[in-house]
Structure 1
Amino acid sequence: PSVPGIGVARAHALVSKYQNIDRILSVLKFEKGDQMPEDYAKSFNDALAVFQHARIYDINTKELKHMKPLPENFLESLNENLDFLGPYP
């Protein structure tokens, strides 16, 4: 789900001004109120994690691995549910 009225230009302006996703989400919650989906912050963080930590096949080691190592607090915040990052044998 998206936030009504937030396109590429407005998103860019928010990132340029606030430079921190937590601050941006707080501003959006304040400005948009009920228009902002209730689970937007979680969905955003999940999408960000997919781009940063997706599971990929390493041709050198012939194993699945994460594009970027997972931070410890990241695992705790997801209750170790990583299914959305891709298949895992």
Structure 2
Amino acid sequence: MANSQERINNLTTQIEQLKGIDATSDQQQQFNPMVQQLQSSIAQEKVRIRDMKLSTIGLYKQDLSDSFEELSKKYLQARVE
């Protein structure tokens, strides 16, 4: 996730640099698609971060479920004995 956040920061810096250029309106029109592409890349990275977080939560949930099953089995065995 750190790499994705670093990439987002780099892309944001690039956008700020493009917007900070003192350009004619023709040049600015050329920069607009670049800015939009960079914004799209940032959005994709944010989705990737979200997916990684959700994946981590899913793995944690599975671990909890497995632990609960194991404890339930031990409990039932203890009751039977």
TM over 0.5: no
Greater radius of gyration (CA): 2
TM-score, with length taken from structure 2 = 0.29
The structure whose residues are more often strand, as a share, is 1
User: Whose relative contact order is higher, 1 or 2, with alpha carbons under 8 Å and at least 6 apart?
Assistant: 2
TM-score, with length taken from structure 1 = 0.27
The structure whose residues are more often helix, as a share, is 2
